[in-house]
Structure 1
Amino acid sequence: MRAAVVNTPGSTPVCADFPDPEQQPGRSPLRLVGAGLHHVVRGLASGRHYGSDHAYPLVPGVDAVARTGDGRLVYTGLARSPWGTMAEWMVTPFEVELPAGADPLAVAAGMNPAMAGWMPLTTHRKEAGELGTVLVLGATGMSGSLAVRAALSLGAKQVIAAGRDHEALERLRGLGAVTVPLAAAAPDARATALAAAVAEAQPTLVLDLVWGPVAEATFAALGKAGTDDGSASIDYVQIGSLAGTEAALPAALLRSRRIRISGSGAGSVSKAEMISEIPEIIARFADGTFDAPYTDYPLSRVGEAWAHRGHTRAVVVPD
């Protein structure tokens, strides 16, 4: 079959012949409709992601929209290595049928980034019984924007969206979020802006898609003087690290606040839990609550897809 193939760590994929995927009992091959080029796809293909098995050559891609033998459109993923989803054919362990009205390429572009925020939001709501005030760090990227939309759709009392892109922040403000601009801000200025927003509405859940110095500014904003134990507890969930892989955590914050710091991602969230939430997420793409701008590239131009940057997500489609 024709597929995107990564031959060595860090190399750009090429379109080439690759062995057909191994058959699995009870699973029929699916034909590619569109596979999103997500941050995790690049990380796994390069060997930088903690989930990489460092086996080459490989076909990149963690999820896709595909067509079944009887013509149905399904969302799928988790193909067995070294096969990924950027290939003419794939064999996968699950299928979720797309509802009417869902743009299959928007689903391919947006499901993975949407899940990043959706999982900790639904987990927190189950544990706490409701969503209070949610702070999203990195709210102007695709994952962050979808996390803001998810929090609003799941009934958050208030959503604070912090990010760098002014136009994206204005769109989120139009949806009802409180916005905090972080563009080109010095560390002290970031902490001041975040502190002002936090003072207005103390978050009970923080979704951090960037980490690094933005996390450190947020820790400073969440810190407080005194030992008043009347404030609500805070769940701080680390999801992405686009701003840096390290962040200094003040000891005083851990002692002075009822705060729980955890992570959400492959390994900390079970595959069964993720799959169970997929129908609810896809439904929001179908009804227009979620959107995911994309640029599609045929398999033969996968190198161009790999170089794609901007506000849209690259989606690899058949030639």
Structure 2
Amino acid sequence: MRAALIDTTGRLALTEHPEPTAQPGHQVIEVSSAGIGPTDLMRAKGFFGPIGAPYVPGSEGVGRLDNGQRVYFGHSKAPFGAIAERTLVAEEEIWPVPDDLPDDQLIALAISGTGALIPLEEAKIARGESVLILGATGPVGQIGAQIARLLGAGRVVAAARNRERLEAMQAAGHADAIAILGEGDDDAALKAVADGGFDVVLDIIYGPPAEAAMRATRPGARMMSIGVQAGPTVALTLRDLVFRSHVGVGTGQRPAGERRAAYGRLIDMAVTQGLTVDTRRHDFADATQAWAAQAGSPHGKIIISR
């Protein structure tokens, strides 16, 4: 079968790859679309450890089982992955999906969607509270801004470096105000739109922007951190933290049943309340270009379809 393959140097190329065969507790899936996310790029760069052998990348996708059932899948069994004609997946990571949502939305609402939903649910947003989405222009941020509103936020502020995409979020009604980061004083930029202080921060990027965000909160605030794109550490004083909480939230490490239930809630939001996310689609034959696009500008969800 044809598949994308990451070699030991981290480079991707389309090539022939052995077919997966059914194993106990796993099923073969005919892949229709695959998603590429930041984690896939980090793995190919050796962030999680040396690349010991060539493997097929792509951590999630949509396809069909032998009986024709349409499903979402994640966490293919190594060395198989989503960017291939077929893949092998553990049964607990195969979730039936409705026919009234397209592949790109089903993929975007899974890893990215649960990455936004779980921390915002755990923050227990009270009706009318002010929510800051830090690192808002990627898929997690786009979804998080909409979820915050659906969970009762009275005011949603989107902050990131990309002015154009932030303005698009505001024009779509997903954000009431925006803050441009990286143009000088992030503390001042966030405080200027804080309206007295944020109650909840969904922090997707960590590092210095998270420090500035915490200083723009009010007493009782909850910062929920889920990513490290802007740096793996923060430096906060005790004064910054008084009467505030800062939680590192893990989503992908949770049991499959918990993640599947969260995904079900997201699907319901998409079907009944219009939750959506921007995506960029590429043909399977253009997988190398899609990989480069995600590496160069990781704002929309990259989808590779056959």
TM over 0.5, shorter chain: yes
SS of the residue corresponding to residue 173 of structure 1 reads helix
Residues 204, 270 of structure 1: alpha-carbon distance in 2 compared, 3 angstrom cutoff: farther
**2 CA distance for matches of 1:31 and 1:42?**
23
Q: Are residue 173 (structure 1) and residue 158 (structure 2) matched?
A: no
Q: CA RMSD in A?
A: 2.5
Residue 313 of structure 1: aligned partner: 301
Residue 241 of structure 1: aligned partner: 228
Report 1:90-105 matches (<5 A).
90-93=87-90, 94-105=93-104
Report 1:192-203 matches (<5 A).
192-198=188-194, 200-203=195-198
Task: Output the TM-score relative to the length of structure 1.
Answer: 0.83
Aligned length: 299
Return the match for 1:271 from 253, 256, 269: 256
Contact kept? 1:219, 1:250, Cα under 8 Å: no
Letter aligned with residue 197 of structure 1: V
| Aligned-residue offset at 1:129 | 7.2
Residue 11 of structure 2: aligned partner: 12
**2 CA distance for matches of 1:284 and 1:13?**
35
Residues 7, 183 of structure 1: alpha-carbon distance in 2 compared, 3 angstrom cutoff: same
Residue 123 of structure 1: aligned partner: 122
Contact kept? 2:139, 2:277, Cα under 8 Å: no
SS of the residue corresponding to residue 165 of structure 2 reads helix
Return the match for 1:55 from 44, 52, 55: 52
| Aligned-residue offset at 1:183 | 4.5
Return the match for 1:162 from 159, 164, 168: 159
**2 CA distance for matches of 1:317 and 1:155?**
35
Q: Deviations over 1:224-274 (max 9, x none)?
A: 8xxxxxx4x2221211222223322223223x223233233433x343321
Return the match for 1:214 from 199, 209, 212: 209
**2 CA distance for matches of 1:90 and 1:176?**
36
Residue 228 of structure 1: aligned partner: none
SS of the residue corresponding to residue 252 of structure 2 reads coil
Contact kept? 1:124, 1:131, Cα under 8 Å: no
Residues 115, 201 of structure 1: alpha-carbon distance in 2 compared, 3 angstrom cutoff: farther
Residue 20 of structure 2: aligned partner: 21
**1 CA distance for matches of 2:255 and 2:264?**
16
Contact kept? 2:142, 2:277, Cα under 8 Å: no
Structure 2: gaps of 5 or more residues: none
Residue 227 of structure 1: aligned partner: none
**1 CA distance for matches of 2:15 and 2:119?**
38
| Aligned-residue offset at 1:5 | 1.0
| Aligned-residue offset at 1:205 | 2.1
**1 CA distance for matches of 2:216 and 2:82?**
41
| Aligned-residue offset at 1:184 | 4.3
Return the match for 2:243 from 237, 257, 282: 257
Letter aligned with residue 116 of structure 1: G
Structure 1: gaps of 5 or more residues: 225-230
Residues 160, 295 of structure 1: alpha-carbon distance in 2 compared, 3 angstrom cutoff: same
Which is further off, 305-314 or 40-49? 305-314
| Aligned-residue offset at 1:106 | 3.2
Residues 53, 120 of structure 1: alpha-carbon distance in 2 compared, 3 angstrom cutoff: farther
**1 CA distance for matches of 2:174 and 2:277?**
16
Report 1:56-95 matches (<5 A).
56-93=53-90, 94-95=93-94
